[in-house]
């Protein structure tokens, strides 16, 4: 029986199982990820963060840490805005890096990180691009919403609802569908947004590979960018507060770069025994 050491952390209650695998030796497949993220039989989480040196993943810098992010269903994702803040907090807490500024490698490129005096973590998310894709997203009860495609290194479909009460009532227990289907051939993270005030919005999200989560970091950036465009925002830098079920984050939109700032907390360390030869539930089970 395999036994792995792990940590558990969250960013605005988007939670992750963290595995230190400096030299890339862990046999981490879909079954292992599903078990670890299982909230009844495993540790429980929206995803897994494997902490590995970049040289063991993509032949990158042997002194740079790579965030190998897996969704709860075992699928691989390009980027995770809440996850990378938790990843940075773990590196600092474990003494794997020093100082208040660092860079982390991801499948969406190198991301700059700064730890602020209040303990929050600020991440450079790169360029945010509205794709111009006209999409319709439909939720479980048949309600359909016009949405805009947004690329934050991973795909998003952002839809706006009329008021916060409608947002709270949305049935997101199953994945929304979208048309045209070819708009997001690799799946999409679907965000639903209510405007609360000037540069202040609330959102809920259904993440591909994980289901509805308490927060989605790249989703908050996509929502801020879509809201700014919807309200006719200028090209000048702008800051948005985005409320999610698990808390609030700040998104700064600038030319060629967006920044995401929010909390990151490590809540537990432990050891998990991985069973062999069992089938783990998928989101559809």
Going residue by residue through the chain (285 aa), what tens digit of pLDDT does each one get?
799 999 999 999 999 999 999 999 999 999 999 999 999 999 999 999 999 999 998 788 899 999 999 999 999 999 999 999 999 999 999 999 999 999 999 999 999 999 999 999 999 999 999 998 789 999 999 999 999 999 999 999 999 999 999 999 999 999 999 999 999 999 999 999 999 999 999 999 999 999 999 999 999 999 999 999 998 877 778 999 999 999 999 999 998 899 999 999 999 999 999 987 544 444 444
- In DSSP terms, 123 is beta-bridged to 113, 260
Asked: is 2-120+264-274 a CATH 3.40.50.720 domain? The reply is no
User: Prior bond to 98 cis, omega within 30?
Assistant: no
Domain with CATH 3.10.310.10 in the chain: 2-120+264-274, 129-261
pTM of the model: 0.92
Is 71 among the annotated ligand-binding positions?
yes
Query: 127 labelled as ligand-binding?
Result: no
**Domain 129-261: which topology?**
Diaminopimelate Epimerase; Chain A, domain 1 (3.10.310)
| Catalytic-role residue among 80, 108, 157, 224 | 80
Q: Which two tokens stand for residue 98?
A: 């020093």
Residue 208 labeled ligand binder = yes
Q: Of residues 88, 123, 216, 264, which has the active-site annotation? A: 216
- Annotated binding residue 154: yes
83 marked as binding residue: no
Dihedral of the alpha carbons of 105, 274, 96, 13, in degrees to the nearest 10: 70
Told to judge if 216 belongs to the known catalytic residues of this protein, a careful annotator would answer yes
Strand residues in the chain grouped as ranges (E): 2-11, 14-20, 47-53, 65-71, 101-106, 109-115, 121-126, 129-138, 144-151, 155-160, 177-179, 189-197, 200-207, 211-213, 238-244, 247-254, 257-262, 265-274
Task: Give the model's pLDDT for residue 134.
Answer: 81
How high is the pLDDT of residue 283? 43
Query: Which residues partner with 6 through β-bridges?
Result: 270
Tell me the Ramachandran region of residue 211: left when phi exceeds 0, alpha when psi lies from -120 to 50, beta otherwise: left
């Amino acid at each position: 029986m395999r036994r792995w050491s792990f940590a558990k952390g969250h960013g605005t209650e988007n939670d992750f199982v963290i595995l230190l695998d400096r030299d890339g030796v862990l046999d981490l497949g879909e079954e292992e990820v599903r078990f670890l993220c299982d909230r009844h039989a495993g540790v429980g989480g929206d995803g897994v963060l494997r902490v590995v040196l970049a040289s063991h993943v993509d032949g990158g810098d042997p002194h740079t840490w790579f965030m190998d992010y897996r969704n709860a269903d075992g699928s691989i994702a390009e980027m995770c805005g809440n996850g990378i803040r938790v990843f940075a907090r773990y590196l600092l807490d474990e003494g794997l890096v020093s100082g208040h500024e660092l860079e982390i490698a991801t499948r969406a490129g190198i991301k700059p990180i700064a730890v602020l005096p209040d303990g929050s973590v600020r991440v450079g998310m790169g360029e945010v691009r509205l794709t111009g894709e006209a999409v319709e997203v439909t939720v479980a009860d048949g309600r359909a919403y016009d949405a805009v495609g947004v690329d934050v290194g991973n795909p998003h479909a952002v839809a706006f609802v009329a008021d916060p009460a409608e947002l709270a009532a949305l049935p997101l227990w199953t994945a929304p569908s979208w048309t045209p289907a070819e708009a997001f051939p690799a799946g999409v993270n679907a965000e639903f947004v209510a405007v609360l005030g000037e540069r202040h919005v609330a959102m809920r999200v259904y993440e591909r590979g994980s289901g509805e989560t308490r927060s989605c970091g790249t989703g908050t950036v996509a929502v801020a960018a879509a809201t700014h465009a919807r309200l006719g925002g200028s090209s000048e830098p702008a800051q948005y507060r985005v409320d999610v079920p698990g808390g609030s984050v700040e998104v700064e939109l600038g030319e060629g770069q967006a920044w995401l700032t929010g909390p990151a907390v490590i809540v537990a360390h432990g050891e998990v025994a991985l069973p062999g030869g069992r089938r783990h539930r998928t989101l559809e089970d």
